Amino acid sequence: MKLPLLTAAASTLFCLAPNAAADLTTYNQDFEAADIMSPTALSDVGFVVFANVFDSMGGYLYGYGTFPAPNGSGAFSDVASGSAGAAQGTQYINAFSDYNNGDHANGNVIEANVFQEQVIGAGDVGNTWTLDFDYLKSPNVINGDGNTQTIAFIKVLKQSDGTFATLALDTLDTTNASTSTWASGSLSVFIDPSLAGELLQFGFASTATNYDDSGRYYDNISFDGPGGQPPTLTAYAQDFESLDMMSPTALGADNWDIFANVFDSGGGYLYGYGVFDAPNGGAGFSAIATGDGGPFQMAQYLNAYSDYGNMDHGIGNVINANVFQEQTVGAANAGETWRFSFDYRKNATVTNGDGATTTQAFIKVIKVSDGSFATLFLNEFDSTSASTNAWASTALDILIDPTYAGEVLQFGFSSFATNYDDSGRYYDNVDFNVVANPGFGEIICLGNPGSTGVGSFLTVGGSTTASDNNLILTVDSLTPNSLGYFIHSTGSNVVYNPGGSAGHVCIGGGALGRFNGNVLNSGAAGTVTFNPDLTSFPLPGGAIAVVAGDTRNFQYWTRDISMSGPTSNFSSAVSVMFN
């Protein structure tokens, strides 16, 4: 899906006559049978048009429609030919602005919509309906693009109360489509019970003024749903090695999106823009980078940074740039824990200095079902102070609440920067997956890979009730038959490669206690388990008892073997609050 990250976008004002309730029906159209000379060729196959007109500042002026879609009138749409590829046959639809509206010459903005519409029936509930299509930008240049924007969309409007509020929306930005190579797009909507009886529309839209060019070709349109599966979260993994770092669409093609929010120097919200496909290279947002990878990051990784193409940097406004993936949460995901893990490092190149820049990784859930785009869940990691010469790893977890079904989950990276201050952070080995046994507590960091090729992982079980005195710490994926012991503290600072270790201490910043009186052997299975006595936690100043309300952070130190010989390493670190 393509949805605003933090703020709601203005919804198109379709004023439409309600229809009688009926189930959705499949629609397929390749335009080959359409009579290119007939003025009713498009309306005969169900297309209609509607326009909204805005002044140059975005103020709404008026709307008109819904009317049958014209063919060859100079307004909205026509059946076209001459630029089809092998898969497009001969004919396709050209969707464009209403050039018959004289407000083009007055500097007003015409939003022209060419679409199909159906009413959702009770029998559609639980199905996912999908719109598939091919698209190409018209190669014909007349007045140039100007500020024209074009999209494909699928949406649901609330007709039952006469408001026509947007209840669901999925879009694909076709503004920068190729003029020579056809591409394919797919949009979908999950029909939850609240959408029964409401109006579903799918089609194509443009916003243009001053008679700027706006034509986009679409073909092989398929709207289908019966028998489809409801949405569900799907695993994602990316190490960026197979992506073409020379391709400007390498990240967008891998479903990375971008969105920006802009604030004044006092934190007041000014505006937002997106969602767009993530670029690869250029002044804004993201690029595939190379040259600073470690042994486990290999050659390529993601560089996420501010939108330096936004001139508001120069006037002291703050750009919040987001680079992310998004999926729809399914009802079947309720009760699952999903984990977003990644490696990170700070770009060592200094251009203007950090200034007040902050950077984050995040996983969140956005409420799209009511159009509010309110944040239902947010888990963040602050990568601002990442090392410029050592990679580290961490993870963010989310427990899927049943109320999240049908809403949008996003995971990715963000920055807040102004005055063109440096903001680049490298990320690699991105993984999003369900976790069978997440254990208690919150992950502080992940362990660096050791001789097993993966990082050792600490899981907290037993009970976090202090009076039960039954905390169970388990670490797996250790080097077999290696010795080690647990450490604990109240701090969560990262100390990189202490004493030449292959790993990082992630619980620095507080008094560090060592359970070195309980040295453990990982055995042939590479696993250790420890049940610490909560009444006697070792610290340099003497043992303490853990009580309700305390938070302790745990990690495991172990002997390890590297290519250069014996070394040490550390497991993941977990923070536990006791009750």
- Which portions of the chain are predicted below pLDDT 70? 1-22, 226-230
- Same domain flag for 426 and 453: no
In this predicted structure, what is the pLDDT of residue 18? Answer: 30
Q: Are residues 496 and 462 in the same domain?
A: yes
- Report d(CA 257, CA 285) in Å as an integer: 10
Same domain, 567 and 540: yes
pLDDT at 554: 98
Strands of the sheet containing 471-476, edge to edge, are 457-462, 471-476, 528-530
Asked if residue 207 is part of any domain, the answer here is: yes
Same domain, 45 and 185: yes
Nearest to 562 by CA among 238, 344, 294: 294
Q: Are residues 139 and 155 in the same domain?
A: yes
Domain C-terminal end among 173, 204, 224 = 224
Report if residue 501 sits inside a domain: yes
Does residue 399 sit within a domain? yes
Q: Count CA atoms closer than 13 A to 414's CA, side-chain side.
A: 24
What radius of gyration do the chain's Cα atoms show? 28
Does any domain span residue 11?
A: no
> Can you tell me the distance from the alpha carbon of 379 to that of 392, in angstroms, rounded to the nearest whole number?
18
Q: Residue 227: its pLDDT value, please?
A: 57
Q: In this structure, are 101 and 204 located in the same domain?
A: yes
Give the model's pLDDT for residue 405: 87
Confidence (pLDDT) at 228: 52
Reading phi first (left if > 0) and then psi (alpha if -120 to 50, else beta), residue 500 is in left
| Short-list 225, 25, 222, CA closest to 134 | 222
- Both 281 and 144 in one domain: the answer is no
Give how far Cα 505 sits from Cα of 315, 403, 499, Å.
40, 37, 11
Residue 36 buriedness (CB in 10 A; 0-12 / 13-18 / 19+): middle
Q: Which of 400, 416, 435 is the last residue of a domain?
A: 435
CATH number for 121: 2.60.120.260
Same-domain status, 358 and 325: yes
- 8 domain-assigned: no
Q: What is the pLDDT of residue 121?
A: 86
43 plus 106 within the same structural domain: yes
Q: Are residues 188 and 255 in the same domain?
A: no
Tokens of 573: 């670190």
Cis peptide bond N-terminal to 275, omega within 30: yes
Per residue in 123-159, is it b (16+ CB within 10 Å) or e — as a string?
A: ebbebbbbbebbbbbbeeeeeeeeebbbbbbbbbbbb
Q: Given this model, what pLDDT does residue 446 score?
A: 96
- pLDDT value at residue 7: 31
pLDDT of 3: 32
In a shared domain, residues 510 and 486: yes
In this structure, the strands spanning 199-208 and 149-158 are antiparallel
Each residue's pLDDT tens digit, 90-107: 999 999 999 999 999 999
Domain of 98 in residue numbering reads as 27-224
- Say if 368 falls within a structural domain: yes
Residues paired with residue 393 on neighbouring β-strands, in sequence order? 343, 446
**Residue 274, both tokens:** 């997106």
pLDDT attached to residue 137: 96
Report how far residue 374's alpha carbon sits from residue 25's, in angstroms, rounded to the nearest whole number: 32
- Does residue 399 sit in the same domain as residue 322? yes
228-276 pLDDT, tens digit each: 556 789 999 999 999 999 999 999 999 999 999 999 999 999 999 988 9
Strands 573-577 and 442-445, how do they pair?
Answer: antiparallel
**Is 1 within the bounds of a domain?**
no
d(CA 139, CA 154): 25
Number of domains in the chain: 3
